[in-house]
Amino acid sequence: MAENPPSNRPDDSENDDENAKDPFSEMFGSLFGGAGGFDPKNLPAGLGEAMGLSDNPEAMAQMMAQAQAMMAAMAKGDGGPVNWKMATDAARQSIASNDPSISANRASAVANAARLAEMWLDAATVFEADGSECRAFSRAEWVEKTMPVWKSLTEPVALSVGKAITAALGEQIPEQMRPMMGGAQGMLQQLGGTMFGMQLGTAVGGLAKDVLGATDIGLPLAGSAPALVPTNIAAFGEGLEIPEQEILLFAALRECAHARLFNRVPWLRSSVISAVESYARGIHIDMSRIEEAVRDIDPMNPESFQSLMGEGLFMPKRTAAQETALAKLELVLALIEGWVDEVVAAAAANLPGAPGLRETIRRRRAAGGPAENAFASLVGLELRPRRLREAAALWAHLLEERGLEGRDAIWAHPDLLPTDEDLKDPQGFTSRRQLAEASMDDIDAALSKLLAGGFDEPEAGKDDASDTPEEGGKPDSPTDSGAEKGPEPESPGDK
């Protein structure tokens, strides 16, 4: 038995070439918690020197411990362009210190405010409630409920970002380390997805501390039922000198009005989401910015990885397709917010603090806040209704001109929605619409006549028009050069 170890060693040395592990894989194996853990003394040859840490084993160990935490998070990802587990965890972590659970009393207050809001809205719009009860979310619940929509909105951006980061990191790898890379390309892609997930989670966590409900940024983020975040409503009301109950009721009116609009206009949600996705798919990554940021990464500071996703990542120049998608999105967001603004103003006519709250919300939506700015810098898109006041003026004009049913009927089809010109000139909306409808009627009539055979043959009769007098020829005219020269039995010469 004592002779076995010596007898096995030669075999092992002979098979070293066959069983040798990629040193880069060995390092990442230790980062993932492989047997024996990480020992800075056992660094792959050249790695410490390449990273400038060959004389500082403790610093290398600290860096590897930080990297191990990131790699553990990467391991929990699903391999997609974004590590959604990391995004959700980062969002929840950013709000964990101040996120009280929803008490029964607060949940009851939200439900009661929503029921009263629905009654008031019945007189302000023809769109009916669907009977869903308004939910009360904690900030963490808001994150969990809205994350599927964030995933849909940001995956096109994340895919571009992941490719750019992978390429930039690959270029920045020291020469000494490149032979060790082997199959580490997938690892770099996961790193890009993890970094994006961390930044996205931070941005969503910031929004979770700011939004009043599930539709506060103009998109239905948490399904069809209305939902409010009481903690944020209380924070919003600080310093306004308006009773908290009035603020809660006003927030419920806005949330329930949004819910009615999206529930009763089935094409609206998909239209808004697709506009955001179309814009996101066309985003161009500023590679020079990525490369510069990668060069600035400090291995000793994990926060420097997060700064890679900061402001200036996206090229300011937009493609024609993006400009079209953005114009469509801004118009639809303005129309949504303008309609909600007008409907809520009418429904809250008897609420003393309503005028002040309306103006505060208008300014808040137009200016945005730190959380919205963080999301905009990450995704390259601002979800703000910049033309809210113009849209509200248009809906007010249509109410005066057409009544509730006529105003709300505009939402029946996307082709009926007001245009950019209508926002600039609400008074001319009806006349422009009548001209467009008359033009369409003419086209329909002409098409029906053509299909019924009511038109003469086009162009085909021109070459032989003289052969058939009924088709426009003039055989009796002495100047008609196209007259038939065939037999003329009735001529005097034949007699």
Confidence of residue 484 (pLDDT cuts 50, 70, 90): very low
Q: Where are the beta strands (DSSP E) in 245-297?
A: none
In this prediction, residue 77 carries a pLDDT of 53
Secondary structure of residue 108 in the 3-state scheme = helix
Position 418, amino acid: P
Going by the DSSP 8-state scheme, the letter that residue 383 receives in this structure is: -
Query: If we measure between CA atoms, which residue out of 108, 61, 426 comes closest to residue 53?
Result: 61
The Cα 484–Cα 463 span in angstroms is: 13
Query: If we measure between CA atoms, which residue out of 335, 133, 336, 285 comes closest to residue 224?
Result: 133
Mean pLDDT over 85-100 rounds to 89
Q: Which residues of 461-487 are buried (b: 16+ CB within 10 A; e: fewer)?
A: eeeebbeeeeeebeeeeeeeeeeeeee
User: Looking at the predicted structure, is the pLDDT value of residue 54 above 80?
Assistant: no
Secondary structure of residue 220 in the 3-state scheme = coil
Number of H helices, E strands in the chain: 21, 2
User: Looking at the predicted structure, is the pLDDT value of residue 19 above 90?
Assistant: no
- Angle between helix 244-264 and 320-347 (nearest 10): 130
94 Cβ neighbours under 8 A, 6+ residues apart: 201, 202, 205, 206, 208, 209
The Cα 61–Cα 133 span in angstroms is: 54
Mean pLDDT, the chain, rounded, equals: 74
Name the pTM for this structure: 0.71
* Residues 157-180 pLDDT 10s: 777 666 666 666 666 666 666 565
Task: Say if CB 317 and CB 286 are below 8 A apart.
Answer: no
447, burial (CB in 10 Å: exposed 0-12, middle 13-18, buried 19+): exposed
Going by the DSSP 8-state scheme, the letter that residue 239 receives in this structure is: T
Secondary structure of residue 283 in the 3-state scheme = coil
User: Looking at the predicted structure, is the pLDDT value of residue 34 above 70?
Assistant: no
In this prediction, residue 474 carries a pLDDT of 46
In this prediction, residue 37 carries a pLDDT of 47
User: Looking at the predicted structure, is the pLDDT value of residue 82 above 80?
Assistant: no
Which range in 84-98, 134-148, 184-198 is most confidently predicted, on average pLDDT? 134-148
Triad 88, 89, 94: Cα angle to 5°: 100
Structural tokens at position 162: 């992941």
